[in-house]
Structure formats: structure tokens, C-alpha cells
Structure 1
Amino acid sequence: MTYQGVLTKMETEFSNPIQYYLVFDSDFINMNQLLGKTISIEFVKYQCLNCGLDKPIFRQGYDKQCFYNTAQTGDWIMRPELSTAHLGQEDRDLEYEKRVQLQPHIVYLANSSNVKVGVTRKTQVPTRWIDQGAHEALEIVEVPNRYLAGVTEVALKSYVADKTNWRKMLKNDNEDENLIEWRDHLKQYIPDEAAQYFIENNTETHLDFPVDKYPLKPKSLNIKKDLKYIGKLVGIKGQYLIFEDETVFNIRSNEGIVVKISV
């Protein structure tokens, strides 16, 4: 069976284990059902997620021109402390920025390769943790807008990491941590403007990924260079497909690429 479409990040369902779906315009694949099967991935062309043109992807699924112009890739996406919609100030598209920024946001701790602090919209819990390959996570602050979440993250990342080591995450090279102890320790560093939003009492969320075999030395597939790859799927974690030969394919970093997948 063959499927073809433009890659966007896999949709997920929080269950035990996590369910993954690769969604195309006219079809979708439940990737969990492909575990243990040999599949081929073939590069077809580019398709910018904004303009739809066959132009080389620059970042996040967009060609260079669209990346620097579309509202979905403003600097405040990666650096939420730069959000200004709460002040009525436009970056690229104020209406879009109000819709995204002026809603409840969560500052959280997650453990994937190490304990890290992060920010996400409340509606993206636990999706954000799944995408990062975290096996445990805990909300620590819930604020009414993205700006407050951003300044809280900036304050806390002086005391805890804010990045995931993707190789350690894929090797499952991590240890269980007491995130409640981390939360209570970090409370003292939360900025005054966000202190009232601290979450005093909650429990960790634990996530189980569909992986039969973790790679010892993961090697990243560059489908744009290799054009075609064939391998046996043995796991899915974060937004990565894991193959028996220890090749890993990051769906998220290949958004905007049209591929043909054969099973």
C-alpha cells in the first residue's frame, strides 16, 4: 500500500501507549500499526505549508520568504517572552497573535533527556510533552497569556535546562525524577508578576511510547539528500520514527516535504 502527501507533525492520541497518526490531505496512517513492518520513504518534492509552492523549505515547513512573513513563525513562537498582543502591539498579524497569545498558557517541567522547563498553550497539554518525547511531565504555572509564561520560563531556565538532548531522548537514556520536588524548589524563582499563578497541588503525568527497540547510536535520516530510505519500523517517540538499523527520521523537522510512503 502506498500513501503520498506533505509532511506535517504527527497527530497524537494520549493513550497507553501513545497513538500516532500521519495525516495527509486525503488519507491518514496509524503509524503504530506499522511497527514491525518494513516501509519505504521517498522524497517527491517540496510544498511550503503557507504558499503551497515547490520551493526549498527554510524552517518549520516554510520557504524562506514565507518564514519571514507569515504570522505563524514570528519570533514570539520560539521566544514567548517577546509576545506583545496583551499590549495591543502587532508583530505580523495582531488578530492571529491575539488568538494564540491571549489564552491560558502552561509553564511545565518535563523529563525526556533531562529535566527541562517549557511553555505551551493549555490546549496543547499533553500534546507538547508527547512531541518532546517526555516520559514524565508536570504543570507548575498556569497564566492567562503567552507573555507571562515566557518571562516565567526565562527566569526559571537559569536554574533548570530548557532544551532536550534528542539523542539521549531517543536512546531512552534518562532517569526518573521527582518533578514535584523540582517544582517546589523552583517556586522561589518565579517572577512576582506570575507568582499568583503557581500550581500548588497536582501530580505528574506519565507517558508511554510505542517503542520495541531503542537505538544505541541514533543516526538521522536526511531524506532530501538520500531521496529514498527502506527500513523496519521498531519505534516512535517524540516526533521521530525509529528503525531497526538505528536510523531515525524526525517528522517535525521535515515538515513541508512531500513524501511517498510504501508498506
Structure 2
Amino acid sequence: MTYEGVLRKMKTELAETVQYYLIFEQDFLNVNQVLDKRLAINFLNYECTGCGKKKKVFANGVCYNCFMERPEMGEWVIRPELSKAHLDQEHRDLEFEKKVQLQPHVVYLANSSNVKVGVTRKSEIPTRWIDQGAHEAIEVVEVPNRYLAGITEVALKEHLSDKTNWRSMLTNDLKDLDLAAIRDDMRQYLPEEVQDYYLASSTELEIKFPVLNYPAKCKTLNLAKTPFYEGVLKGIKGQYLIFEDGMVFNVRKHEGFNVNLSLQ
């Protein structure tokens, strides 16, 4: 059985074990059903997920022009403290920026490899946590716009990491922690503007990923350098496919890659 199309990050569904889907223009694949089967990945060409042109992907699945021009690629996406729609100030497209920035956002703690602080739109919970491979996560504050979430994250980054150690996450070198206690300890560092938005009664969510075997060591598959690979799929975590030989494939990093997938 074969599938062909442009890769985008896997869609997920929270269940007893997270369900993963690769969505293509004409078809879709429930990736969980491929566990313990041999999967071949063949890179065909690039296709920008922004303009649709067959141009080399620069970052985030888009070509250089789209990265520099499209509103969803603005710096405020990565650095939410730079959001200015609440001030009626435009970066690239004020209408788009208001739509995204002026909605409820959550600052959270997630444990993927260590406790990290992060920001996401409320509507993206728990998707954001799943994408990061977090086996446990908790909300800290819920604020009405992206800017307030951004300054909260900046404040908490003085005391917590904002990065995930992907190798530890994929080898399952993890610890179960009391995130509610850590959340309570972080309250003292919240900016004055968000103190009233603190979620004192939020509860920790535990997430189980479909992994049959974790690798002792990881090696990464880069389709730009190795356009063909095949191996037995042993797990899915975050946005990674984990193979029997220790190879791991970051689907999200390969957005904009047109591929052929073959199940054997």
C-alpha cells in the first residue's frame, strides 16, 4: 500500500493512547496502524505549504519568500512577547494578527524531558503538549491575549527551561514530577499584569504515546541528505516516528517535503 503527498505535521487525537494521522490531499493514514510494520519513505520534491510552488523549503514548511512575507511567519509567533495586536499595531497583517493574538492563550508547564514553560492558544490544548512529546502537563495561567502570555513566559524562563531535550524524550529518559507543586512555586514570579489569571486549581494531564520500544540511542533521518529510508516503525511520540534501528524522523521538520510512503 502506498501514499503520496506533501508532509505536514501529524494530526493527533487524545485518547487512552494518542492517535496519529498523516493527512494528504487525497488520502490519510492512521499511523498507529503502521506500528511493527516496515515503512519506506521516498523524498520526491519540495512543495511550499504557503504558496504551493515547487520551491525549496526554507523553514516551517514554506519557501523563503513566504517565510519573509506571510503573517503567520511573523517573529511574534516564536516570541509572543512581541505581539502588538492588542495595541492595534500591525506587523504584517493586522486583521490576521488580531484574529490569532486576541484570543485566550495559556502558559503551561510540560514534562517531555525536563519541565519546560511554554505558550499556546487555549484552542491548541492538548495538541501542543502532544506535539512536544509531553507525558504530563499543566496550565499555569489563562490570559486574554498572546502578549500577556508572552511576558509571562519570559518571566518564568528565568527559572525554568523553555526547551525540550528531544533525545531524552525519545529514549524515554524521563521523570514523573509534581507539576502542580512546581506551578505553585512559579506563582511568585508571575508578572503583576497576570496575577489575576493564575489557575490555582488546574490539574495535571497525563499523556500516553503509542511506542512499542524506545531506542537506547537516536540517529536522525534528514530526507534532504538521505532521500530514501525504510525500517520497522516501533513508535510515535511528539512529531517523531521511531524506528527499530534507532532512526527517528521528525515529521514537522519535513513539512513541505513531497514524499511517497510505502507499507510492506
Residue of structure 2 in register with 1:207 after alignment: 207
Shift of 1:214: 0.6
Output the amino acid matched with 1:237. Answer: K
Aligned equivalent of 2:260: 260
What secondary structure sits across from 1:123 in the alignment? helix
Query: Is 1:122 aligned with 2:103?
Result: no
Q: Does the alignment pair 1:82 with 2:82?
A: yes
Whichever residue aligns with residue 61 of structure 2, its letter is G
Q: What secondary structure does 2:236 align onto?
A: strand
Query: How far apart, in 2, do the equivalents of 1:164 and 1:195 lie?
Result: 26
Report Cα offsets for 1:83-118 as digits up to 9, x if no partner: 000001010111110110000000000000000000
The CA deviation at 1:236 is: 0.1
**Residue matched to 1:233:** 233
**How far did 1:54 drift?**
1.2
Aligned to 2:147: 147
Deviations for 1:172-231, whole angstroms, at most 9, x for unmatched residues?
111001001101100000000011100011210000000001111110001121111010
1:59-84 CA-partner distances (Å, limit 9, x unpaired): 00011111011111100000000000
1:29 equivalent to 2:29? Answer yes
Give per-residue Cα distances to partners, 1:113-149, cap 9 Å, x unaligned.
0000000000000000000000000001000000000
- 2:111 corresponds in structure 1 to 111
Find the residue that maps to 1:226 and give its secondary structure: coil
Instruction: Report what 2:11 is aligned to.
Output: 11
Aligned to 1:61: 61
Partner-residue secondary structure (3-state), 1:58: coil
Unpaired runs of at least 5, structure 2: none
- Partners of 1:49 and 1:95 in 2: CA distance: 21
Q: TM-score, structure 2 length as denominator?
A: 0.99
1:38-70, CA deviations, whole angstroms, 9 ceiling, x for partnerless residues?
010000100001111111111000111110111
TM-score normalised by structure 1 residue count: 0.99
Look up the match of 1:41.
Answer: 41
Name the structure 2 match of 1:188.
Answer: 188
Gaps of 5+ in 1: none
The secondary structure found in structure 2 opposite 1:223 is coil
Amino acid at match of 1:252: R
Q: What is the distance in 2 between the residues matched to 1:256 and 1:16?
A: 31
How many residues are matched?
A: 263
What letter is aligned with 1:234? K
Aligned to 2:176: 176
- Percent of residue pairs bearing the same amino acid type: 59
Give, in whole Å, the separation in 2 of the partners of 1:25 and 1:85.
Answer: 33
SS at match of 1:133: coil
For residues 64 and 213 of structure 1, the distance between their equivalents in structure 2, rounded to whole angstroms, comes to 38
**Alignment partner, residue 92 of structure 2:** 92
- Shift of residue 6 of structure 1? 0.4
Instruction: Give the Cα–Cα distance (whole angstroms) in 2 for the partners of residues 159 and 138 of structure 1.
Output: 17
Deviation above 6 Å: which 4+ runs of structure 1?
A: none
Match of 2:225, SS state, is: helix
Q: What's 1:132 paired with?
A: 132
Residues in 1 aligned to 2:198 and 2:220: alpha-carbon distance in whole angstroms: 39
RMSD of equivalent CA atoms: 0.5
What amino acid does structure 1 have at the position aligned with 2:8?
T
Matches of 1:202 and 1:7, distance apart in 2: 35
